[in-house]
Structure 1
């Protein structure tokens, strides 16, 4: 199963998360139209099973919710209120997995079916099974919205594990890259585990003994049938991306962006001229797509300690650091150094203790 993530502009996802936000705020007397402002969706669309929405539309709704509600616990309420069946075939597949280890593998492999600005990686490390949350489309969001999405996603992962095994299951530890917020007490209440802030990454840990446990609704036949359905849905998304989306994905998967149009065109078995013509037919260009990917990669690398501006310029395909600085100023309105200082002021980066770590194998066992 593929775990490539579609580009954030594609309308691939049922808007059930947006509907959940609208319901939460409706209980507080706020109309759905306020949540949907700027999304291009109307309240009727939230009940339409054929409606599909993009990550960008979800981000607009999440931003509206954050501005409309003064409740710092809203993100946790949203995450704790979304159960596995709310995710359709994807969630039901996870609910019927034969082991928690199987759940981790399938959730990572099929995460492209869920509208999220974050990317999940399942790992085994230091006797723990953990989710590591990294930025996808969230790499350039305002700090308040970024932290809202992290809180929501971690709360949702706790809910999923309890859906599988029962409410008595608790995480061992949650760690967050952002500093301790004024509402830190809500973390302990909602996540039911200790929380550490100012860490070098966002992660949620469970004792590795849960991996061998059998979920309450495990059913091999149901899991296999729903996996087939999920693979079909992923294939439909892949087919609907258009060439622009596929070029975006191809560039995102490169370790460095030095490859030019000729190299990318060859992966699609076409000439540069054909690639240029077909992208123009979709209203874009190779340079525009590469610019978006460079922006994403640059901000991600600047958020990590260690890499110099010169190294990041090389990784993102610039001939020198001066050109990279000019491009970054155009993207963000600040220099790479200013961006890094701003990020580090909000996110501490202590050096983690070294521990044996490896990702889950995505092969079905």
Structure 2
């Protein structure tokens, strides 16, 4: 499983602690981590990092612009050798090409790409599948961090070009004006993916700090980091997948999307699960079964509503699946568990 640098998480944790006085230590402790003892060279899986970020996002829902604030503070030091490699490039075009090739060294939870469109270029960030309550937080952090990175690059170039527009992959929020004020350009919501629309001329701009020797050095370091992080971890992938899927409601990601989130090809993903005696469908069914039992025991929601929460378009499909899991219908399960909890039962 491909791992990520823990630096981005530490930057996020520190900003949340400073700006929102969150008890970040308690959240990290639930995941077996201590902020004071995080090794700057350490790595973390995407799924584990997402689980931690989901808890942070839940605690700062009162500020819908929190992730914009946090992402805008990410400095070059959070990118390490990846940033130094890009800064050593001969032009913005070369930096774009290498940034995309080595994007797994960034902190993004998005697939990075670019597209030429007439006299503009789109730097695109296609988000990984995320639960609805977490998507905006992650997208905002990624976009704000990328915006800050682009501004830093422009400062090095002695230029101050603003994006012609920024695209956001969710519906327009009530705070839309704050986004336009922050990014100082039009911000379009409801798009298929996040993107920065830039003048095509940007690609031709040379970097004043271009150095072929330094580029080779940092590129070699990036290659070595990728090699170290790409060691396949076979322990409890099914448990990590279960933890990831548990964050979702109504819409669960497909296997190919889960594989991408874990930094694996779909073929590798299937093989590693098989090595543990599991399949993607078995893990997904297990997650759905646990969610179903919890909702039937602890809520009064109808079977139809629970079916929708578990990603079924019709209650009949859920009822059929539940009978396979528990050998009884959801209604019978709810009645039995209610009887067991009655006084004197």
Normalising by structure 1, what TM-score?
Answer: 0.63
Q: Which runs of 5+ in 2 are unaligned?
A: 242-254, 258-266, 285-305, 316-345
* Matched residue SS, 1:124: strand
| CA shift for structure 1 position 89 | 0.8
Name the SS of the counterpart of 1:130 in structure 2. Answer: strand
1:334-362 deviations in Å (ceiling 9; x for gaps): 23699xxxxxxxxxxxxxxxxxxxxxxxx
Q: Larger Cα Rg: Structure 1 or Structure 2? A: 2
Q: Distance in 2 between matches of 1:202 and 1:336?
A: 28
Q: Identify the residue that residue 11 of structure 2 maps to in structure 1.
A: 20
CA-to-aligned-CA distance 1:184-212 (integer Å, 9 cap, x gap): 12211222211011223322111111101
Of residues 222, 227, 238 in structure 1, which corresponds to 2:230?
238
| Deviation (angstroms), 1:158 | 1.3
- Tell me the alpha carbon deviations over residues 233-263 of structure 1, each in whole angstroms, 9 at most, x when there is no partner: 2222333355998xx9xx849xxxxxxxxxx
Give the equivalent residue in structure 2 for 1:141.
Answer: 131
Please give the secondary structure, in 1, of the residue aligned with 2:80: helix
Q: What is the match of residue 66 of structure 1?
A: 57
Query: Who is 1:164 aligned against?
Result: 153
Question: Whole-Å Cα distance in 1 between the matches of residues 91 and 23 of structure 2?
Answer: 41
Report if aligned partners of 1:22, 1:35 keep a CA contact under 8 Å in 2.
Answer: no
Per the alignment, do residues 331 and 172 of structure 1 end up closer, same or farther by CA in structure 2, a change over 3 Å counting? Answer: same
Distance 2:236 2:54 in 1: 27
Shift of 1:150: 1.1
Contact 1:37 1:64 in 2 (8 A): no
Structure 1 CA distance for aligned equivalents of residues 181 and 207 of structure 2: 24
Counterparts of 2:35 and 2:169, CA distance in 1: 35
| RMSD of aligned Cα (Å) | 3.4
Structure 1: 5+ residue stretches without partners: 1-6, 254-263, 266-274, 293-328, 339-365
Decide whether the 8 Å contact of 1:36 with 1:64 is kept in 2: no
Match of 2:310 among 320, 328, 333: 333
Matches within 5 A, 1:26-45: 26-27=17-18, 28-36=20-28, 38-45=30-37
C-alpha distance in structure 1 between counterparts of 2:43 and 2:307, whole Å: 32
Equivalenced residue count is 265
State how far apart, in whole Å, the 2-side matches of 1:205 and 1:336 are: 37
Distance 2:74 2:127 in 1: 21
Distance 1:34 1:291, change over 3 A: closer
SS at match of 2:142: helix
Distance 2:53 2:37 in 1: 17
The aligned counterpart of 1:191 is 183
How far apart are the structure 2 equivalents of 1:132 and 1:203? Answer: 4
